[in-house]
Amino acid sequence: MNIKESIVTKNPCYTCGRTITVQGLMLHSVGCPQPKASVFFNNWNKGNANVCVHAVLQADGTVLQLLPWNRRAWHCGSGKNGSGNNTHIGVEMTEPDTIKYAGGGSFKDLNPTATKDFVKKTYKTAVELFAYLCKKYNLNPEKDGVIISHSEGHKRGIASNHGDVEHIWNKYGFTMAQFRKDVKKAMSGSTAGTTEQVGGKKQEETTGTSGYLVKITADVLNVRKGPGTNYPVSTQVHAGEVYTIVGEKMNGSTKWGKLKSGAGYISLSYTKKV
Ligand SMILES: [Zn+2]
């Protein structure tokens, strides 16, 4: 899995700045034969777009993050018990161009082998992303209502009446019950994210004596390929996130810390030891 930040800075879900306390994760499937996440970025990075999800993921392991994880997105509408938009992060899986929709959630599969392979790969990307987010927000993936599909959200009365993700998963043998188990399993292994989020006791123990934890104090902090501002930026980290530092290097009067994830170095001036 490779999270690429591509924030929709023109979308009202971003510009209005409203945030949520993340209590769960909702999985969607785009409902059209479109394998590319960038198409959704283009659709939603507009001032007049009235919906947006937090991320769209691809079969190749790419996760295009469109909104900060705690922004209030508009991904599931609402139901008789309110709206999952106020509690759940919304993630869309792309779909292969080997299917053709025939109205509603039914479709014709033009190449069953390729379709199944694609669905299997987006499933895997989703498992890795949800494991990463469960760790980040201390969520238990098997607790009732924490990880749900859009259609399960509808049954619980917190989402509009859509059939995803089961409309496509059912045909290829994937289920939400198994998905939740796989997320749990992935949480105990090491996830291959671009940035490593370390929160909670469990992770702390696995860092051993070779590293220490710091909390980011700057709103946004660049992660650089080397210990200095002359090195290219590889990704960014954000206020409140906690990372493991496994090495230190001085550059002038600034001390730089090497991230355990391998993403690069951050200036320790904008961190606090925890
Ligand atoms: Zn949906």
The pLDDT value given to residue 96: 98
Q: How far is the CA of 231 from the centre of ligand 1 (A)?
A: 40
Joined tokens for residue 173: 């043998």
Joined tokens for residue 214: 């710091």
The pLDDT value given to residue 39: 97
pLDDT tens, N- to C-terminus, the chain (274 residues): 999 999 999 999 999 999 999 999 999 999 999 999 999 999 999 999 989 999 999 999 999 999 999 999 999 999 999 999 999 999 999 999 999 999 888 999 999 999 999 999 999 999 999 999 999 999 999 999 999 999 999 999 999 999 999 999 999 999 999 999 999 999 987 444 433 333 333 333 333 336 889 999 988 899 999 998 888 888 999 999 999 999 999 888 889 999 998 899 999 999 999 9
Q: How far is the CA of 27 from the centre of ligand 1 (A)?
A: 7
The pLDDT value given to residue 78: 96
Q: How is the chain classified by DSSP, letter by letter? A: -EEEE---TTSHHHHT--B----EEEEEE-SSS---THHHHHHHSSTT---B-SEEE-TTSEEEE-S-TTB--BSS--BTTB-GGGTEEEEEEP--TTEEE-STT-EEES-HHHHHHHHHHHHHHHHHHHHHHHHHTT--TTSTTTEEEHHHHHHTTSS-S--TTHHHHHHHT--HHHHHHHHHHHHHS----SS----HHHHHHHTTTS-EEEEE-SSEEEEESSSSTTSPEEEEEETT-EEEEEEEEEETTEEEEEETTSS-EEEGGGEEE-
Q: How far is the CA of 74 from the centre of ligand 1 (A)?
A: 10
The pLDDT value given to residue 103: 86
The pLDDT value given to residue 95: 98
The pLDDT value given to residue 250: 87
Residues in the chain: 274
Q: How far is the CA of 88 from the centre of ligand 1 (A)?
A: 12
Q: Which residues surround ligand 1, an ion (CB under 5 A)?
A: 28, 150, 162, 164
**Pairwise CA distance, residues 274 & 261, whole Å:** 18
Domain 2-188: assigned CATH number: 3.40.80.10
**Pairwise CA distance, residues 38 & 16, whole Å:** 22
Residue 110 burial (CB count, 10 A): 13
Q: How far is the CA of 242 from the centre of ligand 1 (A)?
A: 31
Q: How far is the CA of 163 from the centre of ligand 1 (A)?
A: 7
CATH ID of 200-273, from 3.40.50.10860, 3.10.20.810, 2.30.30.40, 2.40.40.20: 2.30.30.40
Burial of 9 (C-beta count, 10 Å sphere; 0-12/13-18/19+):
exposed
Structural domain spans, the chain: 2-188, 200-273
Q: How far is the CA of 40 from the centre of ligand 1 (A)?
A: 13
Q: What is the pLDDT of residues 173-190, one digit of tens each?
A: 999 999 999 999 999 874
Q: How far is the CA of 221 from the centre of ligand 1 (A)?
A: 32
Q: What is the pLDDT of residues 130-156, one digit of tens each?
A: 999 999 999 999 999 999 999 999 999
Q: How far is the CA of 29 from the centre of ligand 1 (A)?
A: 6
